[in-house]
Amino acid sequence: MNHFNIPTYDILSFEREIGNGVTNPLLMRTQHDLYVVKTIDHKEEPKVLINELVCYKLAKLLDIPIPDVAVVNISQHIIQSTPKLIELGVQPGKHFGSKFVSKAQPNLQPPMLRIATNLEDIPSIILFDQIIYNDDRTTNRGNLLFDLKQKRLLAIDHSHVFKIGALWDEVQLKRIHEEGICLIKEFHGHNYKVLLKYVNGNNPFNKVLQKVSELTIAAIEWCVSDIPDEWGLTDGERGVMIEFIWYRIENVAEILKLLKDQCPDWKGGDLSGF
């Protein structure tokens, strides 16, 4: 996929709290559509928004099924006219929005996958999680959606990635990087128990590996570019994030070896190119 611009929309109104996930996202209306918005407020730090935007861009390059996103601008006027936003301490300015999927079911269950039209994306999601070190996907029942209209599995919620979520800084991410390659912890949590039966056959990762092979360091630099200034990403943090992601991409072969031991229905296949 070619590089693309992330749109910026103005928030017109607050609809309700979503009530799903640690970050307590908000359903808000823009001039184009409804978005699930993660904000900078009393509770959440800008790193949550940085993680989401960077991982979205990487997901699109790897053809991971994920809702479209936008940077959304919340004005002081909207905040002052909305008691809930005042209560939450939402700051005026740019925040992260993921397009609302109106007919969708969280809490993934096996019957949903029996009618899913994109089962071939399951290995892609699992490998993507290892690249971004997304511990949250295995046990958090709210960060996979099943689109009931399209009958597609969607990956959402990438705030708690890079092993320690929004707590990372330049020093911490360097330390995690130096620990070497490993899989996410609690690999056999609820969601992965449901997903792993679809990592089967001889070459289940072929689709995503083709996309991985097309990545360059310039593509990762693009993923970490154009972060809104008010989110506070420093040049040093940008650099270590690029190094972290690129190192894990360069070591996909090692990740695949570790995955092979955890995926009993994966029969093998030629991985000599990775």
Give the confidence band of 270 by pLDDT, cuts at 50, 70, 90.
low
Question: Distance between CA 70 and CA 47 in Å, rounded?
Answer: 16
User: Above pLDDT 90, what percent of the chain?
Assistant: 86
Give the confidence band of 21 by pLDDT, cuts at 50, 70, 90.
low
pLDDT at 180: 84
pLDDT at 19: 76
The whole-model pTM stands at 0.96
The token pair that represents 93 in the structure block: 């300015």
Q: Is the pLDDT of residue 142 over 90?
A: no
Give the confidence band of 267 by pLDDT, cuts at 50, 70, 90.
confident
Give the confidence band of 2 by pLDDT, cuts at 50, 70, 90.
confident
Nearest alpha-carbon partner for 94 in 70, 71, 65, 62: 71
The token pair that represents 120 in the structure block: 């071939």
| 221-250 confidence digits (pLDDT tens) | 999 999 999 999 999 999 999 999 999 999
